[in-house]
Amino acid sequence: MTALARNASRPAPLGSMEMSIQSFTDLYQRTVDDRKILGVFLSGHLAIEYLLKKLIAIYDPALIRLSEEMTHARLIALNADIGTINRKQCEVLVRINKIRNKFAHEITYEPTVDDLKELFRMAADAFSDQTDGISQGLEALDSCTGLHDLEGYAIPELFIQISYDLHEEYHSRGGDIEEF
């Protein structure tokens, strides 16, 4: 039995929509589907990673080379250890990383509306909401029944708000607000 066939027979993981790959056509369709949320999570994850590395560099330039070799999870942990992010921020970033990892390793994964609501609630408690993106995202999530109901801006706003706070921390530690 191939790995693809074994994965197709497994039940969908908790927190994901029921979907399985039953044929090559299903695999092909899943590969070419325009899943905006996947792109948003990958781009947002990369932006966070970039900013975490910048925070490490501003904290101690001697750690730059080390940070370039670290996994995302270790970057989060190091930033928490050196105090460039707080515990609540760390928890949100870890949750985002777990979602991104599910996207990367489970072809059928889609977060549920409840998964996203929990993430947004955690973020509302951990990050400032300078342009109300987190609160607007929560409102959008409260009024939808599935990911297809979400407006295009709801999920990206989460990453924008987090990026604002991480960039502000970088700036408060002496980094140039416009230059990296």
Banded model confidence at residue 9, pLDDT cuts 50, 70, 90: very low
Residue 2 is predicted with a pLDDT of: 38
DSSP letter for 176, please.
-
Has residue 152 been placed in a domain?
Answer: yes
* DSSP secondary structure letters along 85-134: S-HHHHHHHHHHHHHHHHHHH-TT--B-HHHHHHHHHHHHHHS--TTSHH
Is 22 part of a structural domain of the chain?
no
Q: Is the whole-model pTM more than 0.75? A: yes
Q: Find the range with the poorest average confidence among 31-40, 121-130, 169-178.
A: 31-40
Query: Looking at the domain assignment, is residue 2 inside a domain?
Result: no
Q: Determine the Cα–Cα distance for residues 162 and 46; give it in Å rounded to an integer.
A: 12
| DSSP run (H or E) holding 69 | none
53 or 144, greater pLDDT: 53
Is 16 domain-assigned?
Answer: no
Q: Which helix (H) or strand (E) element contains residue 70? A: none
56 belongs to a structural domain: yes
Total domain count for the chain? 1
Instruction: Show the domain range for 146.
Output: 34-172
Q: Is residue 28 situated within a structural domain? A: no
- Establish if 3 belongs to a structural domain: no
